[in-house]
Structure 1
């Protein structure tokens, strides 16, 4: 991948939010075919997620990576992985994290240094290092993911492992794919990647241990999504 293309792709570090129905299947009372349809019990809520955002989680998803930003203008956040078992969402892991160094936005633009708020699918992973046992399709390519030598040494391992967040990209393609369906002005290259101790250009960053756990746990068959934003907006 050409250096110019890499820098353009990573400078967002937005696919539209993946809509989904929050309603479950409907059935009829056994032995009474003319009885009114009775809605199935809804799953318990992902904690801290209000009606407006929760309705955008696809009904078929049973893995949610929730990114709770500490404030609209804060770079500090917490990542929690929830899995759905039957009708209950349960936490499977929680880690400190960082987001865009200027916080969050509902209208992400190239270079604004804010992470996009929304619900996005997670469909591909990759990185400089070899596949650690990822369930998502994994693209190992040192040339595509290694930051340029000119970058600060603190950032040299940011992309050892990455998971693409499907904001302004073609889902299922390798994370470094530079296609921007919404146009360059909406930014792109929004990833989960390794943390370097501070805010990002727009990505979400977590520890190496957290990334390895997520890579080994997120399963395409469970239609994983990421729900991300500042706590107040997510709860509204």
Structure 2
């Protein structure tokens, strides 16, 4: 584990609360547009899945058809095709429908043969107030659908033992109330940055938004405060600490997030 400090363009304590007070996550800030930076580098900001399954030649007969490649449970061929080849660890966060703000999170890992098995969870989770979207924009109160890398963590409290770079900073403190009137205090005691519209390799507090401020940002996995988020995923405290300890950057972990029918495509 490591502790990273002094990354550029950090949120000040006042700015953080102003951006996140009623959101529980996902603040925005003016930036210069650039290329997408999710798990795929695709230009679409809110949906990291391909429009079609990876190309391949059709088999001439059932006998000659290749065996299907192993897939993460719950994922269809299109979504699985967007998981990077080097990834062997994936957190799947899925809700039952597009407008749901509760979900389930399960961590999977693959063996050398490519077979995926459950390694932690399932855990109850929350997502944005209005559910999910394939085209996330700032303030739409929906979580982006897609496959995104997980590479940077931080929080107000000390590192619980993660192998990810971890930025402990008092600027993760927050107060106020959420959408259900619940207190937000402690929500950012531990967070994992989801690589949606951010520059990988920086503290989660970094404000640069390569796709522009209008596409949102600051989408994290953070501590559940008892209500829906603006765009983030929230896990109960001990589940998040377990996830932080389980994620291994050498396995190029990703989060696969969205409604079950979308991920099953």
Matched with 1:133 is 161
- SS of corresponding position for 1:205: strand
Q: Count how many residue pairs are aligned between Structure 1 and Structure 2.
A: 219
Alpha-carbon distance in structure 2 between the residues aligned to 1:205 and 1:163: 10
Greater Cα shift, 4-13 or 132-141: 4-13
Out of 131, 135, 146, the position equivalent to 2:173 is 146
Alpha-carbon distance in structure 1 between the residues aligned to 2:240 and 2:166: 13
- SS of corresponding position for 1:112: coil
- In the alignment, does 2:234 pair up with 1:205? yes
Normalising by structure 1, what TM-score? 0.85
Runs of at least 4 residues off by over 2 Å: 1-17, 19-23, 40-43, 149-153
Q: Measure how far apart 1:71 and its partner are.
A: 1.0
Out of 178, 201, 221, the position equivalent to 1:192 is 221
Matched with 1:56 is 82
Q: Measure how far apart 1:53 and its partner are.
A: 1.1
Gaps of 5+ in 2: 1-10, 29-35, 42-49, 55-65
Out of 82, 85, 107, the position equivalent to 2:135 is 107
Matched with 2:258 is 229
RMSD: 2.4
Matched with 2:199 is 170
Q: Measure how far apart 1:198 and its partner are.
A: 2.0
Out of 48, 71, 89, the position equivalent to 1:45 is 71
Matched with 1:35 is none
Gaps of 5+ in 1: 24-39
Q: Measure how far apart 1:16 and its partner are.
A: 4.4
- SS of corresponding position for 2:40: coil
Q: Measure how far apart 1:122 and its partner are.
A: 0.5
Normalising by structure 2, what TM-score? 0.76
Matched with 1:119 is 147
- In the alignment, does 2:120 pair up with 1:69? no
